[in-house]
Structure 1
């Protein structure tokens, strides 16, 4: 596993390694057991399975998605009191995060433009999440590695799981699906570095009218989105959106560095 960690690190892949560094009493694995966890939830290795492993996977994913950069963490877990295992031992786990990139992008929608856009985005150094209520469209992303794909009927339910430093793009099947997501974001006054919705000025006006009827008064989102370049084909729309995302990303991270 050490060779695999070295390989992943050299290739610049983002991942977390959790190592069982000490045990007292009963424990499901020996000291030195390791697990490698990736941002999309996939993992390699084991530290014993069951509740301890579930705890480790959950904490690894949290560390990979934190707003602030946290590269290492040490924690001691009472197997009975903390996670409800019948054995009464204590496990100490050391977490190491490699190549964590704080550029989180969430795309709502997996349709034609999203299929093009996300295939460009995976070539960039970002953590990409795609959300849609249509499994058949999400399945088309099976060939992409390192992407978190979420099938959710009520897509607005995912808003609470989005890190506040995320760049959020809405390109669902229509404004009837976009509005509930926008309402969830704007009504809670969540301020993302980038919030864009695909569509025309007419669509924006229609969405603002619906949102106003729901009590929303702040319309701090980009629509139409993308740089003013290219035609209306999915590849060129995608390039225009990426150009805008990169501009906002550069400005956002420059501001973060000055803080």
Structure 2
């Protein structure tokens, strides 16, 4: 068991983008290792806190890992008679609620840590994504980025493209138009990105497309100006809202809609209210 408690573990998993399951004893009857309301957290490798140990905890962890393997948000309520199913001599009954939270697969890379980036990271902090910010100006490493956002100071942001995860989303808004162009060229050498966006006016977009075409790049992969045109405004937060709206609309278009399943409210009420007969020891 990891020394972190369950609440600390949730924060750690969320910051790292790992999938995790919260297991809660929502009902106990008879003799049980712990009382109702206690929690533990399980991720792909570790468990945090305890429901009382023993075979009960083994069953819960095993069930949690099965939920994590599906990598989707879901809930499950599982009744466990301790003597019959967990072979524990205390002989009581528990009802465990398992809440599974999928791992984050939405990686967004921001090149340039200026005003729009600062506004954008505030919004992305509330979304299921992991964010990396690249900039060659050390003064932007101020340590005030959200938990799901990591600043990386690099003298040559273009060189960082080789380290990016395939299928990641990339947005360019540096302080230098030549650096913007170099980043566009480097990104357009690969076909495995989910998105490449460049901030700029219609004039900048036209000039960049002409240069990219002359240099042999397929500028059709580049979205410039980035952001939804219906969302107007030039303030950094207005631009950030426009960009976020575009990213979300494209991201959720490509995500399959999972059928909701798990334990219904009627089943949950029955599980909690039904009398449980304590198994003989």
Equivalents in 1 of 2:194, 2:158: separation in Å? 18
> Could you tell me which of 230, 233, 236 is aligned with 2:232?
230
Q: 1:183 is paired with a residue of what secondary structure?
A: helix
Equivalents in 1 of 2:116, 2:179: separation in Å? 16
Equivalents in 2 of 1:252, 1:112: separation in Å? 29
Unaligned runs of 5+ residues in structure 2 are 20-70, 72-100, 260-281
Structure ID, larger Rg: 2
Which residue is 1:121 aligned to?
A: 124
The alignment's TM-score, normalised by the length of structure 1, stands at 0.61
Q: 1:2 is paired with a residue of what secondary structure?
A: coil
Higher relative contact order (CA 8 A, sep 6+): 2
Alignment of 1:193-208 (within 5 A): 193-208=194-209
Which residue is 1:153 aligned to?
A: 155
Alignment of 1:1-259 (within 5 A): 2=2, 4=4, 6-11=6-11, 13-15=14-16, 100-137=103-140, 139-186=141-188, 188-227=189-228, 228-254=230-256
Shift of 1:210: 2.4
Q: Is the 2:173–2:198 contact (alpha carbons within 8 Å) kept by the matching residues of 1?
A: yes
Equivalents in 1 of 2:118, 2:219: separation in Å? 30
RMSD: 2.8
1:199–1:143 Cα change, 3 Å: closer
How many residue pairs are counted as aligned between the two chains? 177
1:8–1:183 Cα change, 3 Å: same
Residue deviations 1:206-254 (CA, integer Å, cap 9, x gap): 1122223332244311111111213111111111111111101101223
Residue deviations 1:83-104 (CA, integer Å, cap 9, x gap): xxxxxxxxxxxxxxx8520011
Shift of 1:191: 3.2
Higher alpha-carbon deviation: 231-240 or 2-11: 2-11
Unaligned runs of 5+ residues in structure 1 are 18-68, 70-97
